[in-house]
Amino acid sequence: MAAPDAEAGVVILGSGLGGYTLAREFRKLDRDTPITIITADGGEAYSKPMLSNAFAQGKDAQTLALKTAAQVAVELCITVLARHRAVRLDRNAKQLVVRQPDGGETQIAYGTLVLALGADPRPYNVEGNDTVRVHSVNDLDDYAAWRDGLAPGGRVLLIGAGLIGSEFANDLAGAGYAVTVVDPAPWPLGRLLPEELGRELAQALTGLGVTLHLGRSIALLAPGGAVLDDGTAIAFDRALSAIGLLPRVSLAAEAGLVVDKGIVVDRLLRSSDPDVFALGDCAQTEAGPLPYVLPLMSQARALAATLTGTPTMLKLPAMPVAVKTPALPMAICPPPPGAMGAWVVTGSNKDRKALFTTADGTALGFALSGTMVAERQALAKEMPALLE
């Protein structure tokens, strides 16, 4: 594969972990090719996973920002255009139309384009939600808006008890907020955990003072109050939705790139246009969308090698995710989507090991809680690779 067009260089859309890790890995291999990062946010370097355990550590958006956009630009010898939003991709002209902070538009040419656009919070639609601001926290700006004005000890209505919802519940309860969680699933992390571990997590969160309404949905939202589908009334000061993310595909789709759940890429992270690549939460590899940090790091390393002249196929071993619920630490390595099998659970109380096992006894995924979490690296080596 040819090295990128040196004049127009590499343009990366997005300054999240995907965009910045790629730029960092690229610079380890090539100091000269111009790199421009265009980003709709402030361009601060930060660790997004910290957003769901920052309250208990007393961190605000400013202290979560590890570096400013200007600092990253100097360190990596790149250009960072913060608060610039790409609004259109013209693949024939190899140009982006970009909205500048003053509202004006400009065109930016690329030799190679990398989409590291992340994902949008799934919209929460319920009767009355136009009367209440339902927050979601997916970047530093969101976090600042969420923290701002949240009075100490306030009542938080948390919608969703998945991975991120459970982490927020633990974090906010640990920081002294009165947290009420609503989720239609019968236990937290309903799609990732077998019942035994889910119920232990529910108990651990309840032990922190979290009120759980599981197997329930919100029927009506109104300022300061919600009514559940069983008629239960919940009073709250602020509402936070954590019901999942949708890969940002619209820019790519409007430009005619192949998209499915995410922007479809091959093992070289190349989209249906050979000059356009994608990684991170917006991308869909052969292993599906993988909205976690470890897959993104592997993608960034492989793509940096490819873009600097060494075509490198993406390989992904099984990658467990640590759940940041100190009330009950957990590690999860989900089975591949659609895998046939059943959970086999051993251990007792908080310390449990669940193996997702096929009829012939092959383990395809696992979930660990409490002291069993120590086994996660060893177990991960026994699991099938996500991409060999």
Query: Is the separation of the CB atoms in 22 and 12 below 8 Å?
Result: yes
366: nearest Cα among 199, 192, 161, 200 = 192
Instruction: In angstroms, give the least distance from the CB of 18 to ligand FAD.
Output: 3
Residue 112 found at the interface with ligand FAD (CB under 6 A): no
Q: How far apart are CA 224 and CA 337, in angstroms?
A: 39
Among 4, 9, 14, 262, binds ligand FAD (CB under 6 A): 14
Please choose, out of 9-17, 101-109, 219-227, 343-351, the segment that lies near ligand FAD by the rule CB under 6 A.
Answer: 9-17
Phi-psi region of 176 (alpha: psi -120 to 50; beta: other; left: phi over 0): left
Residue 16 found at the interface with ligand FAD (CB under 6 A): yes
What one-character-per-residue DSSP string does 333-380 give?
A: EPPPTT---EEEEEEETTEEEEEEE-TTS-EEEEEEEGGGGGGHHHHH
Rg, C-alpha atoms of the chain: 22
Burial 321-335 (b: 16+ CB within 10 A, else e): bebbbebbbbbbbbb
Which letter does DSSP use for residue 285 in this model? B
Q: Which is nearer to ligand FAD, 216 or 276 (CB)?
A: 276
Instruction: In angstroms, give the least distance from the CB of 292 to ligand FAD.
Output: 3
Query: Is the separation of the CB atoms in 221 and 233 below 8 Å?
Result: no
Which letter does DSSP use for residue 123 in this model? P
What angle do helix axes 17-29 and 293-307 make, rounded to 10 degrees? 40
Residue 293 found at the interface with ligand FAD (CB under 6 A): yes
Among 36, 112, 129, 138, binds ligand FAD (CB under 6 A): 138
Q: Which is nearer to ligand FAD, 204 or 283 (CB)?
A: 283
Q: Which is nearer to ligand FAD, 163 or 212 (CB)?
A: 163
Q: Which is nearer to ligand FAD, 216 or 298 (CB)?
A: 298
Q: How far apart are CA 358 and CA 105, in angstroms?
A: 55
Residue 15 found at the interface with ligand FAD (CB under 6 A): yes
Long-range CB contact pairs, 260-268, < 8 A, 24+: 260/284, 261/288, 261/289, 262/289, 263/115, 267/313, 267/314, 267/387, 268/1, 268/302, 268/303, 268/306, 268/311, 268/312, 268/313, 268/314
Please choose, out of 7-15, 71-79, 340-348, 361-369, the segment that lies near ligand FAD by the rule CB under 6 A.
Answer: 7-15
Please choose, out of 112-120, 206-214, 297-305, 360-368, the segment that lies near ligand FAD by the rule CB under 6 A.
Answer: 112-120
Residue 40 found at the interface with ligand FAD (CB under 6 A): yes
Q: How far apart are CA 138 and CA 142, in angstroms?
A: 6
Residue 48 found at the interface with ligand FAD (CB under 6 A): yes
Please choose, out of 113-121, 169-177, 332-340, 378-386, the segment that lies near ligand FAD by the rule CB under 6 A.
Answer: 113-121
Residue 118 found at the interface with ligand FAD (CB under 6 A): yes
Residue 302 found at the interface with ligand FAD (CB under 6 A): no
Q: How far apart are CA 322 and CA 305, in angstroms?
A: 28
How many residues sit in the footprint of ligand FAD (CB under 6 A)? Answer: 34
Among 10, 35, 38, 69, binds ligand FAD (CB under 6 A): 38
Question: Site residues for ligand FAD, window 312-351 (CB under 6 A)?
Answer: 321, 324
What dihedral do alpha carbons 257, 258, 259, 264 form, nearest 10°? -110
Among 45, 51, 204, 316, binds ligand FAD (CB under 6 A): 51
Residue 164 found at the interface with ligand FAD (CB under 6 A): yes
Residue type, 113: L
Q: Which is nearer to ligand FAD, 38 or 182 (CB)?
A: 38
Interface mask toward ligand FAD for 182-221; x: CB under 6 A? ----------------------------------------
Instruction: In angstroms, give the least distance from the CB of 46 to ligand FAD.
Output: 9
Among 8, 12, 35, 39, binds ligand FAD (CB under 6 A): 39
**In the chain, how long is the greatest CA-to-CA distance?**
63
* Positions that interact with ligand FAD (CB under 6 A): 13-19, 38-41, 48-49, 51-52, 85-86, 116-118, 137-138, 164, 248, 251, 280-281, 291-294, 296, 321, 324
